[in-house]
Amino acid sequence: MSGGFDLVIRGRRVFATAGTGAWEVGVRDGAVAAVEPLGTGLSGTLEMELAPDEVLLPGLVDTHVHVNEPGRTEWEGFASATRAAAAGGVTTLIDMPLNSIPPTVSVAALEAKRQAAAGQVFVDVGFWGGAVPGSTASLRPLHNAGVFGFKCFLVHSGVDEFPHLEPEEMEKDLTEIASFNSLLIVHAEDPQVIASAESPSGREYSRFLASRPRAAENKAISRVIDAARRTGGRAHILHLSSGEALPLIAAAKREGIRVTAETCPHYLALAAEEVPDGATAFKCCPPIREDANREQLWQGLADGTIDLIVSDHSPSTPDLKDPEHGDFGVAWGGVSSLQLGLPVVWTEARTRGIPLESVVGWMSCRPADLAGLTRKGRLEVGADADFSVFAPEDSFVVDPERLQHRNPVTPYAGRELTGVVRRTFLRGAEVSPSAAPVGKLLRRS
C-alpha cells in the first residue's frame, strides 16, 4: 500500500465517501487506488500536500449544460465550456441536445456533435438525446449509441429546430423510454398557462416574472408525474424554480413514482426583488422568483424533495441579451454560471448553516447517480481520480472578463463570493487551460 502510486494527495479535510477527514489519497492509472488515514505514508511519483485552508473534493458533475456546438459555437463551444467547467471544479458535464445545430435527435446528429467535441474537451463530456415531435422511433437507436437519457420541452424551447411535445406525445415517449430503462428529463412549463399570463415585454422584471407564473410549472409537473405513474418510467424535473411544486414532487416520491428533481444556483442565490429593471443577464426560464420562494427551494433540498443542483448553463452572445434596451420580452433567456456554481451555492449555504458536505453531495454524486455515472462524483477506491482543491473560506469578486465562458455575460458580475477553486484534477492529472485538453467523450455504459 505504501508505494507505486502515480499521485498521492494528503490533507486534513478530504471529502471521501468514507467521511470527511484527514486522509491520504493514492492514484494509479487515473483511478483512486487507496484512501488511507493521514500518516500512513503512501508514496508516489508525485506527492502533494493541501494547504491548511484547502479541502479536497470529488470532481463536480454538471448534468445540465448547453454547449451549443456545432451550429451556435459563437454562443459557447466545447473548448470554452470545458475550460470554464474545470475552473469551477466540474470534471464531468453532460451536454444538452439543443441549442446546437443539428439538435441531438438522431444518431447522425449525435455523431456530428461528438466529432465537433473530439480533441477539444478539458473535462469529460457526455450527451443527452432529444425527444421532439415524431422522434419516437429514434429514441432506442440513440440509447444504443450511448446517450444518457432524453430531454423534452412541454413549452416552446426558444429555438424552432427543437419543438416541444404535447402531453400525449410526452407520455408516448416516456413509455418507449421505459421499455429500455432510460430517463426522460423535462422542461416542465405549461404553454396554455403562459399564453394567458401577462406579456413579458419591457424593462420591468416584475412583468417578465408575471409572464412565467408558478402555475405554469405546477401544472406541467403534475402532468409529468401522472405520466410517470401510468408508464412506470423514470422522469426528472429540470431547473425547478417553483416552491409550490415541492409538495407534488414529495407526494409522488412517497407513492413510489420514479421522479426526481433538480434546481440551479441562480434560483438559490438570486431573488426577484433584487433584479434591476433592464438587467436581462438575470433572465432565464423558468424565472428567478421571490425571496420566500428561494427559501422554499432550500428547504426542498434539505428534506430531499430536490435531489441535486446543476448549472443550466445557457449562454448566448451579448447582443441576444438586448443590452441596449434591456427588454425582457426579446432578450435570450439563460444564465451563464458553469464556472461559478460551487462558490455561488456555497456562499448561500454557509449563511444558512448548511455544511459543505451537503453542497458537494448535491453537486457531485447526486448528478452522477442521475446519469448512472458510477465512477464519477465520489472520492473512493475504484472511482475516477477527479478532484478539485477548494478553499472554502477564501473569497473573490466576480469579474466577467476573467471567466472562461466564451461570452462575459453573468448576473453575478461584481458579486463577492466565498470559496475558490484553486486546482482541478481529471483522472489524476491537473487540468490546465493552457495545456492540451485531456477530457474524454463518455457513453452510457
Quote the CA–CA distance of 152 and 134 in Å, as a whole number.
12
Q: How much is the average pLDDT of 128-135?
A: 98
C-alpha distance from residue 424 to each of 3, 58, 59, 65 (Å): 23, 10, 8, 19
Q: What is the pLDDT of residue 51?
A: 98
Q: Is a pLDDT exceeding 90 seen at residue 410?
A: yes
Binning pLDDT at 50, 70 and 90, where does residue 2 land?
low
User: Helical H runs in 196-290?
Assistant: 205-211, 214-231, 246-255, 265-269
Give 445's pLDDT tier (boundaries 50, 70, 90).
confident
Instruction: Answer yes or no: is pLDDT of 292 > 90.
Output: yes
pLDDT tens digits, 49-71: 999 999 999 999 999 999 999 99
165-196 pLDDT per residue, tens: 999 999 999 999 999 999 999 999 999 999 99
Query: 345-382 as b/e, with b when 16 or more CB fall inside 10 Å?
Result: bbbbbbeeebebeebbbbbbbbbbbbbebebbbbbeee
DSSP H stretches of helix in 303-340: none
Query: In percent, how much of the chain has pLDDT > 90?
Result: 98
Q: Measure CA 29 to chain center.
A: 27
Burial class (CB in 10 A: 0-12, 13-18, 19+), 118: exposed
Give the DSSP per-residue string, 141-158: HHHHTT---EEEESS--S
For the residues of 56-112, what is the DSSP string, one character each?
Answer: EEEPEEEEEE---TTT-TTT--HHHHHHHHHHTTEEEEEE-S-SSSS-S-SHHHHHH
Q: Band the pLDDT of 132: cuts 50, 70, 90.
A: very high
Contact 132, 165 (CB under 8 A): yes
Spatial separation of the C-alpha atoms in residues 415 and 138, rounded to whole Å:
44
* Percent of the chain with pLDDT strictly greater than 70: 99
Res. 3: pLDDT tops 80: no
> Residue 200: is the preceding peptide bond cis (ω within 30°)?
no
What is the identity of the amino acid at 131? Answer: A
Given this model, what pLDDT does residue 412 score? 98
Does 1 score more than 90 pLDDT?
no
Q: What is the pLDDT of residues 298-355, one digit of tens each?
A: 999 999 999 999 999 999 999 999 999 999 999 999 999 999 999 999 999 999 999 9
E strand or H helix at 356, and its extent? helix 356-363
Q: How far apart are CA 193 and CA 191, in angstroms?
A: 5
Question: Helix %, strand %, coil % for the chain, to 5?
Answer: 30, 25, 45
The pLDDT tens digits of the residues spanning 211-270 come to 999 999 999 999 999 999 999 999 999 999 999 999 999 999 999 999 999 999 999 999
With a cut of 70, say whether residue 5 has pLDDT above it.
yes
Whether the predicted pLDDT of 155 surpasses 90? yes
What are the residues whose beta carbons fall under 8 Å from the beta carbon of 52, sequence distance 6 or more?
12
